[in-house]
Structure 1
Amino acid sequence: MKVQRKHVLAATVALAASAAVAVGTGMGFAETTPAGQSACAGSVTFSAEGGAPAATSDRFPVGTRLRVTNLDNGKVATVTVTGPSGSCVLLNAAAMDLVREPGKNVIRRNLVERLDGGAAATGAARPGVPAGEVRPGNAQPGGARASVCSGAITFSAEGGAPAATSGQFPVGTRLRVTNLDNGKAATVTVTGPSGSCVLLNAAAMDLIREPGKNLVRRNTVELLR
């Protein structure tokens, strides 16, 4: 009988342990599934575009639906791509307001998910520039140089001397950014990664912007050797 009681006691303990594990899992104590891989790398920022929440992109075609999550506060914006830009995803003002931290113009920790079933674009080439290749000397009519980035240019709230971040060029790359509407130019060095071909900091943007504008639509970006 003593042997039988030990077996019964051991079985009871094992059953209790199994039940505890099951309850813990049901209550959310179990390890969570890792977050999905983001369809865009680097920070997410915004333009001064108005209207309902939307985005522009150099990776996804018009009509693509994206979900952008700010991992610092859990806030989410679901947006539709309405046109091209120089970023993997560039939110408009209304979309940024849905996910931003107060006073911040850039979302460093983010998750961008494509909702329409298409594959995430990685390293997609811009028009006329094959992936991984830049052509700073391509001549255009009138002697102008071809831009190594396409789409509008915007900025982050980063301080310091004029500089930029980029999803296309490595740290240390020197770029000259010209606003074709006023002829003003800024020469900047890439200091880190972002989700844009070129994302200026506040000081660099101040060198070339039109008063009151947070976006430079007509621009050229030249790679300086």
Structure 2
Amino acid sequence: MRRSRSYKRPGSGITGRNRKIAIGAAVAVLVGGGIAVGTGMSMASTTCDGLDQSLRETISFMNEQKAHPNAQTDAVLANRQAVVDLINLQRKQAGCTTNIAAPAAPVTTAPTRAATKPPTKAPTKAPTTAPTTAPANNAGTGAGEVVCKGSTVTLSGEAGAPFASSGTFPIGTKLKVTNLDNNKSITVTVQTTSGSCVLLNNAAFEQVREAGKFLIRRAVIERVG
């Protein structure tokens, strides 16, 4: 009897087992590429979120300064414009595409003349105690107190040694900022004004941020001096 020979398709050098391995490897490459692309998009989105927020707050603060000018307005606006230019450069490098428009300036109108009313009689008895009021601007009352609860923290875009800018605390105030996502903290002194509870300059933000992120969503801000 002749032994039957198994038929092998010409040009076919891949066994069934090798074919499965090859397909599995291709799938792994596709999945890995998808993860890399997804991670990159997420990282870019987080970067742009922080930069966009910083730009909005800076523009809003400048708008408020223009609406209510004082002796220091020109210097403050010059400082903040330099910050805006730097943030826009960082946004361009990060590929941020959101159009951040300047908020409309508040419209001031002349007060209308009120109708003439008969004078009201003043109370005969003054209150014995003055009413207590909460601290303005969420600035707290003293050192060691957690302030601006729920606030996110981003960067001001300013260079130099670590410091902070704030629209809530006066210049010279010391603040401790803790990033709860990595438990890193920094104590900084407020040196410039802004439209936020606290913004960290580039050097200060670099010490507490997570890699690739320009926004601290879970922050604790303490007034320490």
TM-score tier by shorter-chain length is: 0.3 to 0.5
Q: Which has the larger radius of gyration?
A: 2
What TM-score results when the alignment is normalised by the length of structure 1?
0.43
Whose helix proportion is higher, 1 or 2? Answer: 2
Whose strand proportion is higher, 1 or 2? Answer: 1
Higher relative contact order, chain-length normalized (CA < 8 Å, sep 6+):
2
